[in-house]
């Protein structure tokens, strides 16, 4: 619920830096203070009021701007937003019989790499890399295991790992290597990835967790 107190209303037009130092009671959770700051700028999480000091910092990209690869296989476009589906992990399917669909504006994951490039995993459009000026898209034709990219991680070497709808893919900047159900994964849909301190790659699927690159113990 938005706080409509006169004090907050006056502060809505003030710079954000003047709102943030507002003292709070030790009994008031930090998120409540942040919620008040956010509501002072906008009543909607999807849009920031032009009067808010943060408004000039937002920019958006869609498929029209280069996000997500094109659809050469002419898969049926899906307007699905993920709401009302049988489960979150059915999003890559058009129907229960497994027919694939395409929605490049649907981004499952985002990762800012060590070189400050931004990677985005899309629904059917592969993975997209933004270098600050333009998007470059990589799909199964380039070596990605699947064109639906649910998860990403970057290891200490700077190599990228992608959890897709058809296996786990490793990309070192030049070559691609994929692992699937037949080479060690419990399921081809990889929804979560994490890199351990020792370099092991942990992959989460709907059938369990798999670990790749286990260091040999002495």
Amino acid 24: pLDDT: 47
Dump the DSSP string for 6-51.
HHHHHHTTS-HHHHTT----TTS-HHHHHHHHHHHH-S-TT---TT
pLDDT per residue as tens digits for the range 34-80: 444 444 443 333 344 555 555 567 889 999 999 999 988 888 776 66
- The distance of Cα 23 from the centroid of its chain, to the nearest Å, equals 34
Amino acid 79: pLDDT: 60
Query: pLDDT higher for 18 or 56?
Result: 56
pTM comes to 0.69
For range 175-191, the mean pLDDT: 94
Q: Where are the domains of the chain?
A: 6-57, 63-212
- The distance of Cα 188 from the centroid of its chain, to the nearest Å, equals 19
Amino acid 74: pLDDT: 81
- Angle subtended at Cα 118 by Cα 116 and Cα 124, rounded to the nearest 5 degrees: 160
CATH number of the structural domain 63-212 = 2.130.10.10
- pLDDT over 80 (residue 112): yes
Amino acid 98: pLDDT: 60
**Closest listed residue to residue 164, CA positions, set 135, 131, 187, 184:** 187
Amino acid 201: pLDDT: 96
Burial class of 180 by CB neighbour count within 10 A (0 to 12, 13 to 18, 19+) = middle
Q: What are the structure tokens assigned to 128, written together?
A: 């997209």
- The distance of Cα 57 from the centroid of its chain, to the nearest Å, equals 20
């Amino acid at each position: 619920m938005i706080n409509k107190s006169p004090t907050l209303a006056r502060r809505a037009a003030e710079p954000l830096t003047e709102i943030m130092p507002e003292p709070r009671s030790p009994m008031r959770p930090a998120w409540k203070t942040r919620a008040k700051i956010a509501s002072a700028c906008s009543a909607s999480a999807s849009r920031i009021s032009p009067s808010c000091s943060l408004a000039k910092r937002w920019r958006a990209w869609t498929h029209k701007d280069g996000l997500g690869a094109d659809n050469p296989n002419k898969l049926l476009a899906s307007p699905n937003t993920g709401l009302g589906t049988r489960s979150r992990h059915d999003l890559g399917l058009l129907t229960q019989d497994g027919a694939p669909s395409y929605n490049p504006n649907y981004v499952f994951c985002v990762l800012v790499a060590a070189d400050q490039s931004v990677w985005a995993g899309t629904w059917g459009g592969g993975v997209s890399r933004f270098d600050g000026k333009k998007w470059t898209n990589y799909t199964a034709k380039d070596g990605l295991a699947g064109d639906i990219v649910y998860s990403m991680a970057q290891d200490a070497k700077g190599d990228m790992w992608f959890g897709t709808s058809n296996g786990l893919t490793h990309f070192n900047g030049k070559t691609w290597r994929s692992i699937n159900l037949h080479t060690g994964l419990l399921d081809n849909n990889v929804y979560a990835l994490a890199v351990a301190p020792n370099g092991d790659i942990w992959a989460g699927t709907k059938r369990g967790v798999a670990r790749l690159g286990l260091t040999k113990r002495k």
